[in-house]
Amino acid sequence: MREQQRAPVSAPPRGTWAGARARKAWNDRTLVSAAFVTSSFSSRRRRRRRQYYGQTEPLRLSLLRRIDCPHWEACAGCTLQDATAQARPPIFEQVATFFAETFGYQLPEPVVASSSHHWRTLAKLAVRRTPKTPHHNRVDKVRSWAPQLGLFRAGTHEVVAIPECQVHHAALNKAFKCLECVLARSAVAIYDERRPRLESLRYVQLAVERRTGRVQLVLVGYREPTSQPVAPSRRRTDASLLTPTWRMLCDQLWEEGKRFGSKQQLWHSIWVHMHAGRGNAIFASAHEASQTETAQWQQVYGDAPFIIDEPLAGEPGPVMVLPPFAFQQANLTAYRAMLPLIGFWCMQPLPSSVQRRCNVAAMTSQPQVGTVASRSMPVLRIAEFCAGVGSIGLSVVRQMQQLPNAPAHIYLWASDIHPGGQVAFWETARRNGLLDERVRSALELRYQVGSMTALAQRVHDPKVAASIVIADPPRAGLGPVFISEVLGKALTPSATDDAASSRLERFIYVSCSMSSFMRDVRQLVSFAPNDRNRDASEPTVCWTLRHAQPYLFFPGADHLEMVAVFDRQVRGRCRMS
């Protein structure tokens, strides 16, 4: 009771050293509390906007701090050191200008959902040879070189060690030191780009399971192409993939993991991956893995094959199953903060439903009572491209099932080029209760393996007939074939009839490359017909921007993730309210 009756404390006085420290503490406490207190006094619309579009300004900037990394000058991973530069990277100005010139849209500030330190839970590091140092000579007196683990220096293939990286998760730095200790005395060959040697170690991938703090390790080696198909195996006795030297390396890593992990085993699992590529690709492509069978995967240690990422306190999103051979996000905290926004726009009424309600209101001359968002849709059909393990689509399904006015039936069709994502998709659906008997009548899930170009026609297939398309492509972007086959055909006259309510009406673009994003959007806008050359009585059909929100996935780098929502609108008939 005394705490509730206490009068508000005024700000400490200025001008003294003690007063400055007390004032800083008072400001920090006031800013953090104000971020939560003001939400109770704001309107319903502002609360909803804060929930889906990001935090308030004081809370957003409090997550970022100056990156004082000992590898700053040598490492090319981070380029922005100050907190103010991290919150607004230089590329934001270029993207904001593009939106203003193309759509007349004012791009909001990037959403900062994770701290600038220890946010990275996935690291892919190169392993190369380096001249010996006195430290290496004490460990190994036979070889004239020593293994070097780290990142490439900018513009070169010289490896820079980063054992104390400030953006890496603490478990990644611990795994880095364990790998250095074991490789220094291991007999396994290290990859040399000038003279590639068979069974040589090229790269390693480290992924952290946040709930347990253990690390999943993938050792990537070089191997000649083989014509004999070798299926992925989890047996340690499989001699087709593990030579005695590699088996000894895995044994040493597992034993050292017990010492470095102190209270628990450091390694979640140890995998070995072999492929014949000599390029910059760390893993073999999906085409190589499924067709030529030159890529091979084998789990050597660990009972669980996949990482189970569960949402931490206050995080949205489903339980995700992350295998090593499928795409994983490096910043899972920021990725989970983006999922509610995509689900929010999947739950918003489609343009066809708004059109029908406007026509009914015009004929009856009665205003529509209530908001459009409160009305449920009978059937919702979603197609997701580059789905990976299906975390975006399955998260949308979970969000909609928790609503009181959820659609009567939800159809989700997901696809990805890598066949490994299909197993993780169904396991993710099972762990989130989407395969239970009680939800099967209102939910239908499908997964198909294939590229975006090959499966682009399936969107307009009567069996799919997606009304919402979600695409999260790699850095190369969507490509002209996908844009013309999926988005261009949605503007044909047959797709603009009022009866075709199941046709594609909304496109949600999740992009990780701003250059490819702006290129694809320019081509998307070019599908709009010229108003000068059309009949005045003919309606104009085009893709219009509804919303765009950048996200800061990589604090310290000049990089943004973008979520853009486009609607197929028929102008000249009814204006959306």
> pLDDT value at position 532?
46
> pLDDT value at position 451?
87
Considering the domain architecture, whether residues 172 and 238 belong to the same structural domain is answered as yes
Does the pLDDT value for residue 521 go beyond 90?
A: yes
Say how many Å lie between the first and final Cα of the chain, rounded: 49
Average pLDDT value for residue range 278-307: 71
The SS3 call for residue 129 is strand
Long-range CB pairs of 283-289, under 8 A, 24+ apart, other chains included: 283/220, 283/325, 286/417, 286/418, 286/419, 287/417, 289/325, 289/418, 289/419, 289/420
> pLDDT value at position 370?
34
> pLDDT value at position 420?
82
List, in sequence order, every residue forming a beta bridge with 571; answer none if it has no partner.
Answer: 540
> pLDDT value at position 48?
43
How is the chain split among helix, strand and coil, in percent rounded to 5? 35, 20, 45
pLDDT tens by residue, 325-349: 888 899 999 999 999 999 999 989 8
Answer for the pair 382, 468: CB distance below 8 angstroms, yes or no.
Answer: yes
Answer for the pair 71, 556: CB distance below 8 angstroms, yes or no.
Answer: no
Considering the domain architecture, whether residues 298 and 337 belong to the same structural domain is answered as no
> pLDDT value at position 357?
46
> pLDDT value at position 215?
95
DSSP string, 381-413: EEEEES-TTTHHHHHHHHHHHTSTT--SEEEEE
Average pLDDT value for residue range 52-63: 53
Q: How confident is the model at residue 285 (pLDDT cuts 50, 70, 90)?
A: low
Average pLDDT value for residue range 387-402: 91
Considering the domain architecture, whether residues 286 and 382 belong to the same structural domain is answered as no
Q: Which of 35-49, 207-221, 277-291, 482-496 has the highest mean pLDDT?
A: 207-221
Containing structural domain, residue 544: 331-364+376-386+408-527+537-571
H or E element that contains 447? strand 443-449
Provide the whole-model pTM: 0.81
Bigger pLDDT: 407 vs 220: 220
Q: Could you give the percent of the chain with pLDDT greater than 90? A: 38
In a domain, residue 87? The reply is: no
For the chain, what is the domain count?
Answer: 2
Q: How confident is the model at residue 187 (pLDDT cuts 50, 70, 90)?
A: confident
In a domain, residue 269? The reply is: yes
Bigger pLDDT: 437 vs 527: 437
Does the pLDDT value for residue 463 go beyond 90?
A: no
* Strands of 237-293, DSSP E: 267-275
H or E element that contains 51? helix 44-53
Long-range CB pairs of 433-440, under 8 A, 24+ apart, other chains included: 434/394, 434/397, 434/398, 439/401
Q: How confident is the model at residue 204 (pLDDT cuts 50, 70, 90)?
A: very high
In this structure, what CATH number is given to the domain that contains residue 237?
2.40.50.1070
Instruction: Count Cβ atoms below 10 Å from residue 32 Cβ, excluding itself.
Output: 13
List, in sequence order, every residue forming a beta bridge with 296; answer none if it has no partner.
Answer: 274
Residue 22's contacts (CB-CB under 8 Å, 6 or more residues apart) are 12
In a domain, residue 102? The reply is: no
Cα–Cα dist 356/363, whole Å: 11
pLDDT tens by residue, 471-504: 999 999 998 899 988 888 887 755 444 444 447 8
Half-sphere exposure of 259 (CA within 13 A, CB side): 9
Mean pLDDT computed over every residue of the chain? 77
Considering the domain architecture, whether residues 380 and 267 belong to the same structural domain is answered as no
